[in-house]
Amino acid sequence: MPGPDSGEWTYARAGVDRGEVATALAALLRGVRFRPPPASGRRLELPGHYAGLVRVGRETIAITTDTVGTKGLLAEELGRWEEVGEDAVAINVNDLAAVGARPIGLVDVISVARTDPEVFAQIGRGLDRGLRAAGCHLLGGETAVVPELLRGTDLGGTAIGFFPRGRRPVTGSAVRPGDLLIGLPSSGLHANGLTLARRLVRETRTPLDRPRPGASRPLGEELLTATRCYVRATEALAGSSEVTGYAHLSGGGVRNLVRLHPRVEFVLDRWPTPPGLFPFLRELGAIAPREMFQTFNQGIGFVVVARPRRRSELFRRLARAGYPDAVEIGHVARGRGVSLPAEGLRFEGYA
Amino acid sequence: MPGPDSGEWTYARAGVDRGEVATALAALLRGVRFRPPPASGRRLELPGHYAGLVRVGRETIAITTDTVGTKGLLAEELGRWEEVGEDAVAINVNDLAAVGARPIGLVDVISVARTDPEVFAQIGRGLDRGLRAAGCHLLGGETAVVPELLRGTDLGGTAIGFFPRGRRPVTGSAVRPGDLLIGLPSSGLHANGLTLARRLVRETRTPLDRPRPGASRPLGEELLTATRCYVRATEALAGSSEVTGYAHLSGGGVRNLVRLHPRVEFVLDRWPTPPGLFPFLRELGAIAPREMFQTFNQGIGFVVVARPRRRSELFRRLARAGYPDAVEIGHVARGRGVSLPAEGLRFEGYA
């Protein structure tokens, strides 16, 4: 790993060390030993997914929780809150989509140093856009005013989803060599890698109010673009016997594919050239390709894994649902992990 | 309202102005206009409750979200995290209990400036205690490392619950004059009013490592005591046709009763003398009685509203479930709001 004097930037150098987070989380989980009786619902083990699943009476409920993290600091800098409001929905419902669940709704959590009605109004309009894209309810929320605890605004949420009658969770367990990998393009960074991106912009004194070379919008706006919602894609594919897995490429980038199935290789041999924002950041920070692919989404925000038969039908359904830009990005092979042959990259495990 | 030079302390003077929070929240909610189609589940309106309810297929799901707020700063000061870990569960499942839902499980959210495995291990043990008390699952979680955003550790969670077959939500709509008010004692401050309590302790240089007069434990420990869980109470009373409402007295204190039913009066004419910690804080800050009852729980953390017939059966059930200290605190009368005749207090509305 490059030292702090090297010109090369990593997510860890920007302050977020995935190994340390994993160690802390393991310590927490060792403390949680209680297993409730079946009367409280039966938890379904779903290794490798961000969504938790539980059988409740006659339904299966999926639940996900996530925050927009340091993207809120960018929102603060730019005085624009609609995008992160939309993100608070999208980052959560996309994790529901990744198990094939239909979102029911979201509760939001806003922790602030002080309440500003204009900021809250913008967040509300953003939440509305996110709920509209996902077709789900705002079910509640919490506003915590904690001036001593926070420098800015922390925005997050929890979403729940269900499986309409006859639909089963998509777990990835049926993924096998020969399956097709279809990528759904992202709208930008989404809500991942912002700690690193913001750090690079600051250290290189790159102006946020002007477009980067080749872009039409100011860089700040481009970085802030709301997360694309993939719910309409998984709803359009629901019930298709070809689909074997979904992956939401959020924190961890293409590594998230490894979580889907531990005993196959995800060969990304047709990854499209990442949109200009990604090479721009890569050059700004002399970021290694490996780090780019495990920190940013590199242009693809969601992956559909499917049997290769009837591929044109899958693409047709995706196009009709609002994803005419879906693209084949690779295939599943015998092996382990994720590989990007063109970059000479290989990721063996998740953490 | 007393000015900053007055000796008298209020929650607003400590930095949390409920009116401002309500204004900001109203601005947010004005932005959320989308109403999803019934295919996404049917939201049930439940005015006055913190829990959101939604009909999903053949089940009704309740969802609540809350954070421990500035109690985390006290945990940090004392280097003790088990209590707030337990709180993260209890504050949420108590809101589920208040609609009569049985908790299924919780997702936790920990936002930190840096990860400390020992802190996470303690939080894990605390979550375990909370889950055990509520009889529910840990369904997932999120750890956000956001050093630029946070000074300390922000801990929260979202809980979901359901209604076992034949059970209906307890909404308070059937509350009527003549109903009995049964109070379930709190274990201390729970997770409310800590911003004010900490401020008073700091300004008066009251030591946290020594007991207050009349107490056996150091003041810091007493303030940090984990929130009592009321799930076993509502589970024990489930199906009882006498019960007409529940209220979790969290932020807002006795005002929370007003939310339960807008067209009756909750007469608290038998409120027990608050345990020593409450008068101690009152004297420390020259806090007015009105402020005490709308900021702290004043010794009662949960209220059961029930028809007065068969009262001894209700108390027997509560005692068997672990609440032998349940106590009659008043009754419902014709009128509006909440009154505390002994204090000459009257609260008309919630905010």
Report the gap between the CA of B193 and the closest CA in chain A (Å): 12
* B133-137 mean pLDDT: 96
Pairing of β B265-267 and β B337-340: parallel
> pLDDT digit string (tens) for B1-59?
444 445 788 878 877 777 888 899 899 999 999 998 888 888 887 766 778 999 998 89
Report the gap between the CA of A25 and the closest CA in chain B (Å): 7
pLDDT of residue B10: 83
Q: Which among B27, B147, B148 is the nearest to A120, CB-wise?
A: B27
Pick from A89-98, B216-225, B254-263: least confident: B254-263
Q: Which among B30, B52, B110 is the nearest to A140, CB-wise?
A: B52
Asked if residue A129 has pLDDT above 90, the reply is: yes
Cβ under 8 Å to B: A residues 131-160? 131-132, 135-152, 154, 156, 158, 160
Asked if B24 lies within 8 A of A119 by C-beta distance, the reply is yes
The string over A7-35, giving b where at least 16 C-beta atoms fall within 10 Å of a residue's C-beta and e elsewhere, is eebbbbbbbbbbeebeebbebbbebbebe
- Whether residue A51 lies within 8 A of chain B, CB to CB, comes out as yes
Q: What are phi and psi of B222, to 5 degrees?
A: -65, -40
Q: Which among B119, B131, B149 is the nearest to A34, CB-wise?
A: B131
With beta carbons less than 8 A apart as the criterion, state whether B130 and B85 touch: yes
Q: Which among A25, A43, A140 is the nearest to B137, CB-wise?
A: A43
Q: In what order do the strands lie in the sheet with A52-56?
A: A42-44, A52-56, A59-67, A153-162, A102-112, A137-145
**Residue ranges of chain A that CATH labels 3.30.1330.10:** 38-162
pTM: 0.93
Asked if B195 lies within 8 A of A146 by C-beta distance, the reply is yes
For the record, the structure tokens of B323 come out as: 């609440």
Q: Which among A32, A69, A124 is the nearest to B30, CB-wise?
A: A124
Q: Which among A104, A138, A142 is the nearest to B41, CB-wise?
A: A104
> pLDDT digit string (tens) for A64-78?
999 999 999 999 999
Q: Measuring CA to CA, which residue among B76, B69, B187, B171 is closest to residue B130?
A: B187
Which chain B residues are Cβ-neighbours of A109 within 8 angstroms? 65, 67, 109, 156, 158
* A251-255 mean pLDDT: 90
For the record, the structure tokens of A225 come out as: 């673009």
With beta carbons less than 8 A apart as the criterion, state whether B325 and B184 touch: yes
* A109-137 mean pLDDT: 95
Q: What are phi and psi of A254, to 5 degrees?
A: -65, -15
pLDDT of residue B20: 86
- B330 vs B349: CA distance, rounded Å: 19
Asked if residue A23 has pLDDT above 70, the reply is: yes
- A105 vs A231: CA distance, rounded Å: 12
Asked if residue B151 has pLDDT above 90, the reply is: no
Asked if B115 lies within 8 A of A145 by C-beta distance, the reply is no
Pick from A27-41, A104-118, A232-246, A315-329: least confident: A27-41
Pick from A188-202, A204-218, B47-61: least confident: B47-61
Residue whose pair of structure tokens reads 């900490």 in the numeric block: B198
- A123 vs A88: CA distance, rounded Å: 9
> pLDDT digit string (tens) for B234-265?
999 998 999 999 999 998 899 999 989 999 99
Pick from A65-79, A330-344, B36-50, B130-144: least confident: B36-50
Cβ under 8 Å to A: B residues 199-238? none
> pLDDT digit string (tens) for B281-338?
999 999 999 999 999 999 999 999 999 999 999 999 999 999 999 999 999 999 999 9
Q: What is the pLDDT confidence band of residue A11, given thresholds at 50, 70 and 90?
A: confident
pLDDT of residue B264: 97
pLDDT of residue A214: 96
With beta carbons less than 8 A apart as the criterion, state whether A92 and A81 touch: no
The residue ranges of DSSP E strands in A194-254, in sequence order, are 243-248
With beta carbons less than 8 A apart as the criterion, state whether A2 and A8 touch: yes
A180-347 CATH pick, 3.90.650.10, 3.40.50.720, 2.60.40.3950, 3.30.360.10: 3.90.650.10
> pLDDT digit string (tens) for B54-104?
999 889 999 999 999 999 999 999 999 999 999 999 999 999 999 999 999
pLDDT of residue B18: 78
End-to-end CA distance of chain B: 15
**Residue ranges of chain A that CATH labels 3.90.650.10:** 180-347
- What are A168's strand-pairing partners? none
- Whether residue A116 lies within 8 A of chain B, CB to CB, comes out as yes
Q: What is the pLDDT confidence band of residue A5, given thresholds at 50, 70 and 90?
A: very low
| Domain A38-162 annotated CATH 3.30.1330.10 | yes
Residues of chain B with pLDDT > 70, as a percent, come to: 97
pLDDT of residue B281: 98
- Whether residue A119 lies within 8 A of chain B, CB to CB, comes out as yes
- A107 vs B64: CA distance, rounded Å: 8
The DSSP element (H or E) to which B21 belongs, if any, is helix B18-31
Asked if B124 lies within 8 A of A30 by C-beta distance, the reply is yes
pLDDT of residue A350: 60
pLDDT higher at B3 or A299: A299
- Whether residue B351 lies within 8 A of chain A, CB to CB, comes out as no
Fold of B39-162: 60s Ribosomal Protein L30; Chain: A; (3.30.1330)
- A95 vs A260: CA distance, rounded Å: 13
Pick from A161-170, A327-336, B142-151, B294-303: least confident: B142-151
Residues of chain A with pLDDT > 70, as a percent, come to: 97
Per the prediction, chain A carries an average pLDDT of 93
Q: DSSP code of B150?
A: B
pLDDT of residue A6: 58
pLDDT of residue B1: 40
Report the gap between the CA of A48 and the closest CA in chain B (Å): 12
The DSSP element (H or E) to which A156 belongs, if any, is strand A153-162
The residue ranges of DSSP E strands in chain B, in sequence order, are 42-44, 52-56, 59-67, 102-112, 137-145, 153-162, 180-185, 243-248, 265-267, 300-306, 327-333, 337-340, 345-347
pLDDT higher at B121 or A11: B121
Distant-in-sequence, close-in-space partners of A200: CB < 8 Å, separation ≥ 6: A9, A14, A206, A281, A284, A285
Asked if B120 lies within 8 A of A24 by C-beta distance, the reply is yes
Cβ under 8 Å to A: B residues 21-40? 21, 23-37, 39-40
Q: 3-class DSSP state for residue B144?
A: strand
Report the gap between the CA of B328 and the closest CA in chain A (Å): 30
Report the gap between the CA of B50 and the closest CA in chain A (Å): 7
